[in-house]
Structure 1
Amino acid sequence: MSGPPPKTCITCGRGIAPSEVYYRFTLVLEGEQDVLDTPRAGSGTDELTALLKQLEASPESSQAMEEQVHWERAGVVCAACRTVVMRTLAPPTEPAGPH
């Protein structure tokens, strides 16, 4: 009788034996903006046309642009990597400076 196949930690790449504890995660980052620039009176269509031309001329792929707005990953991490992820996502104990 065979057990479940071993899992692989998405962070460090180490194999996780079926008898080891692992942590399943799903992470979604979604871009948001609370206030949009207010278009000048009568220029809304012109600004939209200029923005569309700028996007079409961009060297970035449509997938890269989409990932700036919506990025999603899921997987499993080992116990050691869980500690690193938890530390990274924990609120800072003191105010952080600018990035």
Structure 2
Amino acid sequence: MSGPRVKTCAACARGIAPSEVYYRFTLILEGEQDVLGPSGAGATQDDLATILKQLEQGDESAQELEDQVHWERSGVVCSACRSVVVRTLSAPPEAAGPH
């Protein structure tokens, strides 16, 4: 009979021994947009049809477009990577700087 398997940190790929503390995570990023264009809430059917046509004629597949709107991952991280993730996601927005 074998014991628990070694887990792999999703951030640094280091093996995490069964005797080590690890942290389970689930991260979901969902795209949102409050306004669909320069016309704001007064968008017309023509505006929406134009946007839809641009999407249909674009190079991205439907799956690529969907992945831009909804991205989800889960896994485990080691103690060192947990500290980095918490620090990154806890930073005030003004300190984040440009991306």
Which TM-score tier does this pair reach, normalised by the shorter chain?
0.7 to 0.9
The gaps in structure 1 that reach 5 residues or longer are none
Following superposition, the deviation at residue 98 of structure 1 comes to 5.3
Whichever residue aligns with residue 85 of structure 1, its letter is V
* Matching of residue 11 in structure 1 with residue 14 in structure 2: no
* Conserved? CA contact 1:11–1:81, under 8 Å: yes
Superposed structure 1 runs of 4+ greater than 4 Å apart: none
Counterpart of 2:94 in structure 1 is: 95
Asked if structure 2 preserves the Cα contact closer than 8 Å seen for 1:28 and 1:71, the reply is yes
CA apart distance, 1:97: 6.9
Distance change (3 Å), C-alpha of 1:22 and 1:64? same
The alignment-based identity, stated in percent, is: 64
Which position in structure 1 is the counterpart of 2:41? 38
Post-superposition offset of 1:69:
1.5
* Structure 2: gaps spanning 5 or more residues: none
The C-alpha deviation readout for 1:41-78, integer Å capped at 9, x for no partner, is xxx33222222211111112222211221111100001
Deviations 1:72-91 (A, max 9, x none): 11000011111110110013
- TM-score when scaled to structure 2? 0.81
Matches within 5 A, 1:48-63: 48-63=48-63
- Give the structure with the larger helix fraction: 2
Aligned length: 95
